Every structure is written in structure tokens, then in C-alpha cells.
């Protein structure tokens, strides 16, 4: 493998900056001719058991994965997906590949594929997940969690998240809907150099570190509600709200002119669905030619929706990070692209990047997030990885 030039690295954590058991993150230009060499140089000293790659390299995820698997050895699982944007050591970045390494000294990992999303074979998925968990043989003395990387174009994240929660109850899982770029282009998933378009990848992780889940959405419910009286669940389209054309009724409830229904207004006034004692965002993607609302999450006739009100995104998120039991070595994070775009429009993306960097958040921008059996939007979900407590045990 060609040696990497440290002067050309966009952002990488050097081995001396973290203890040998800590996860490490780096980010490099997706178009770099020596991308594999740069990632290998940043990760090899840490002897990773798992390498996560987020972004779309110029040469393709498959080729990059194969080269890194060959360089890092059979003991390293290499998993990747395309993304709308990346989160590296310096915060938000674009047209990069974020690489996250998890040292074998403190991590163990395995992955399985969930195929045939067009047929929604939930029973087959459940059997695959249960078999993978059984073969993984988790150590009850260590902390465990899962990562779900789902193809957003398949539009099956709601079923996937619920199936996973039922198949492996009690396992903390965070997930992300993947696509390529800001135009919602078709994306790709990859395991060990094998590209798996249209599939979902589930990664099981076990660690000696302490772990804590994070979930943050910057919206609160208003008193304006609507009933979904007609919908096309397969295509995630609300046809009618309160027995009126959906887009027109939404505009009335949100207090905006029908001509002003833009992605900016959708982001400011999302639809909220209450489930499990919490309100979850059902983000609007577009108005259909027939006057319906196309969403980024599942919807059913009879759902009761509430118009949401945007709160302070920066302060609430900072408070959530600062409430962690102790400073993280890394926060593996999936952040909705709509949150990032809203911050950029308000001129606050730089501030958020500094906050992400300060708390060592690394991951990517998504078209949907999964957490505790739910598929949601306009939300940050993450897994904080922290030093073990004083007795050497991970948090429950």
C-alpha cells in the first residue's frame, strides 16, 4: 500500500491523541487518488476490529473496502455506506469519506445483511437477526449495541426498525437511512468490499467501554392537530388531512401561504407523531402534483399528527451532550440532513461543527434515523463511547 502524505490529510486523529483502546475518527477528500492509503495510515496503528466508512469515494465503496480489508487484515470488519454529508473530527464536512476505527483491544463486531427490502420479508429478517445475535455470543460482562444502515430508497425503515426491536429486545440500536449526496441519489451499502445496493446492514458491536444512547429533536408540539383521513402508505404520501387535500390543510394549520410551502418551511413546521410517550418527527419531503404530502417516514390512515414548533437547536443539543456521565472518547452520531441544512441557512453550521468536534462526534448526515424501534426524521441519534467507570465496568 502506498504511504500516505500526512500533510494532505483533511483531518485525522493521530495515535498519540487517544488511549490505545479508544475509537478514532478521520476524514479525507472523497476524490483523493490515495484515499485508501490515507485511511490505512490513520487506522492501522489502532489495529481496528471494525472500520466504518461514510461517504462516496470516487473509486466506489466496494473498491475502497476491498483495499482496506486487504491492508488491515481478516481481523478487521469493513462496513460502509454512502451519505448526504459527513461528520469528521472537525464537525460537518462534505464530499469527504469519514473513517471510524474501533480497536480490537476494546471492541468486537459482526455484521449481517437484510436483503429483499422490496418484498418486506420481516419473518426472514427476524430469523437472520436472531441467528446473527446467537452466533455473536455476546458477553454479558461487556456493553453491546447495534447499528442499522438502511437504504432510504427502499422506504422500509419503519418495518426494519420494528423487526429489529422485536428480534433482539433490549439491545440498544441506532440507525440511519442512507442515500448519496444532497439530491437524494441512489446510494450504496458495503461489507468487506462487497457492495450491497438496496439492502440494509446490521452491525453488532461489543465493547469494554461504557456506552450511553443519545437522541435529540429540536421540536415541541403545538395545539394544532390533524387526522390522516387518506394516505398511500407504500409511497409515504398523505392524501388527505382532516378530510381536506393534505397540502392545503397543512398550510392552514402551519399558518403559511400555500405558495410558501418550501423545504425551509417544512423544516420549521414538521409533522409530529406521538408514539411510546414521545413525539417523533414525520418530515415532509415534497408536495405531490395532486396536492398530497410526501414524507420521509411511514404514515397510515388514522394517524393523528401534530404541527411542531422549532426550538433552539444549539442549546438543547449542547445540553444533551453535556449531560453524559463523563466526557466521551467518541460519539458515533447520525444527524438528519434537514437539521444540517437548517443550520446552514441560519449561518450556524460553523458553531454546530465546533460543538460536534468538542464532544468528538463522528458519523454522517442521514435521510432518516432509527432509535428504539422507531424510524424518525429531523433527529440526532448517537451512541456515546466513554471510558469504563472506576470499577472497570461498562455502564448498563
pLDDT in tens, 279-332: 888 989 899 999 999 998 999 999 999 999 888 888 889 999 999 999 999 999
Q: What is the bridge-based pairing of β-strands 48-54 and 96-103?
A: antiparallel
Residues 332, 147 contacting (CB under 8 angstroms)? yes
Among residues of the chain, what percentage have pLDDT more than 90?
74
Kindly state the average pLDDT of the residues 167-186: 91
pLDDT bin (cut points 50, 70, 90) of residue 18 is: low
pLDDT bin (cut points 50, 70, 90) of residue 185 is: confident
Whether the pLDDT of residue 165 is over 60: the answer is yes
Give Cα 107 distance to the centre of its chain.
Answer: 20
Which residue's C-alpha cell is 481496528? 48
Residues 375, 161 contacting (CB under 8 angstroms)? yes
Name, in order, each residue with C-beta under 8 angstroms of 207's C-beta and a sequence gap of 6 or more: 102, 106, 107, 108, 142, 143, 144, 385, 394
Q: Which pLDDT does position 187 carry in this prediction?
A: 84
The residues facing 89 across adjacent strands are none
Kindly state the average pLDDT of the residues 244-261: 94
CB burial readout 146-179, b (16+ within 10 A) else e: bbbbbbbbbbbbbbbbbbbbebbeeeebbbbbbb
Whether the pLDDT of residue 392 is over 90: the answer is no
Residues 43, 75 contacting (CB under 8 angstroms)? no
Kindly state the average pLDDT of the residues 117-144: 93
Domain residues of the chain, as ranges? 6-216+315-386, 219-310
> Angle of helix 337-345 relative to helix 349-358, nearest 10 degrees?
130
Say which range, 2-11, 44-53, 299-308, 376-385, has the weakest mean pLDDT. Answer: 2-11
Whether the pLDDT of residue 3 is over 50: the answer is no
CA nearest neighbour of 64 among 74, 48, 51: 51
Residues 284, 270 contacting (CB under 8 angstroms)? yes
Q: Which pLDDT does position 86 carry in this prediction?
A: 97
- Domain 219-310: top CATH class: mainly beta
d(CA 341, CA 131): 39
Q: Which pLDDT does position 390 carry in this prediction?
A: 63
CA nearest neighbour of 62 among 189, 246, 162: 189
Which residue's C-alpha cell is 444512547? 213
CB burial readout 344-382, b (16+ within 10 A) else e: eeeeebeebbebbbebbbbbbbbbbbbbbbbbbbbbbbb
C-alpha cell at 342: 437548517
pLDDT bin (cut points 50, 70, 90) of residue 132 is: very high
**Cα torsion angle, 43, 46, 47, 52, sign:** negative
Whether the pLDDT of residue 174 is over 90: the answer is yes
Amino acid at each position: 500500500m502506498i504511504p500516505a502524505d500526512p500533510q494532505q490529510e483533511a483531518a485525522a486523529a493521530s495515535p498519540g491523541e487517544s488511549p490505545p483502546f479508544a475509537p478514532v475518527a478521520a476524514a479525507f477528500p472523497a476524490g483523493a487518488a490515495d484515499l485508501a492509503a490515507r485511511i490505512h495510515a490513520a487506522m492501522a496503528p489502532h489495529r481496528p476490529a471494525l472500520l466504518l466508512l461514510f461517504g462516496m469515494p470516487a473509486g466506489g465503496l466496494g473498491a475502497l473496502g476491498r483495499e482496506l480489508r486487504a491492508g488491515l487484515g481478516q481481523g478487521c470488519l469493513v462496513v460502509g455506506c454512502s451519505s448526504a454529508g459527513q461528520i469528521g473530527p472537525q464537525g460537518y464536512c462534505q464530499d469527504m469519506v469519514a473513517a471510524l476505527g474501533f480497536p480490537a483491544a476494546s471492541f468486537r463486531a459482526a455484521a449481517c445483511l437484510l436483503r429483499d427490502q422490496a418484498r418486506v420479508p420481516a419473518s426472514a429478517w427476524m430469523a437472520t437477526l436472531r441467528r446473527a445475535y446467537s452466533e455473536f455470543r455476546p458477553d454479558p460482562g461487556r456493553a453491546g449495541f447495534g447499528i442499522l444502515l438502511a437504504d432510504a430508497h427502499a422506504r422500509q425503515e419503519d418495518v426494519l426498525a420494528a423487526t429489529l426491536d422485536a428480534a433482539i429486545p433490549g439491545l440498544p440500536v441506532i440507525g440511519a437511512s442512507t442515500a448519496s449526496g444532497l439530491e437524494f441519489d441512489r446510494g450504496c451499502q458495503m461489507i468487506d468490499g462487497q457492495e450491497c445496493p438496496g439492502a440494509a446492514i446490521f452491525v453488532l458491536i461489543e465493547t469494554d467501554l461504557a456506552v450511553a444512547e443519545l437522541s435529540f429533536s429540536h421540536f415541541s408540539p403545538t395545539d394544532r392537530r390533524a387526522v390522516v383521513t387518506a394516505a398511500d402508505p407504500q409511497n409515504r404520501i398523505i392524501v388527505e388531512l382532516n378530510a381536506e387535500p393534505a397540502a392545503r390543510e397543512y398550510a392552514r394549520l402551519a399558518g403559511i401561504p400555500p405558495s410558501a410551502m418550501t423545504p425551509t418551511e417544512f423544516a420549521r413546521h414538521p409533522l409530529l407523531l406521538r408514539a411510546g410517550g414521545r413525539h417523533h418527527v414525520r418530515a415532509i419531503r415534497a408536495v405531490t402534483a395532486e396536492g398530497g404530502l410526501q414524507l420521509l417516514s411511514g404514515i397510515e390512515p388514522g394517524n393523528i399528527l401534530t404541527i411542531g414548533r422549532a426550538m433552539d437547536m444549539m442549546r438543547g443539543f449542547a445540553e444533551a451532550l453535556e449531560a453524559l456521565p463523563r466526557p466521551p472518547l467518541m460519539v458515533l452520531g447520525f444527524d438528519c440532513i434537514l437539521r444540517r441544512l437548517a443550520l446552514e441557512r441560519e449561518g450556524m453550521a460553523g458553531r454546530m461543527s465546533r460543538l460536534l468536534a468538542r464532544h468528538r462526534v463522528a458519523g454522517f448526515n442521514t435521510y432518516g434515523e432509527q432509535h428504539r424501534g422507531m424510524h424518525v426524521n429531523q433527529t440526532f441519534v448517537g451512541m456515546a463511547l466513554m471510558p469504563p467507570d472506576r470499577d472497570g465496568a461498562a455502564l448498563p
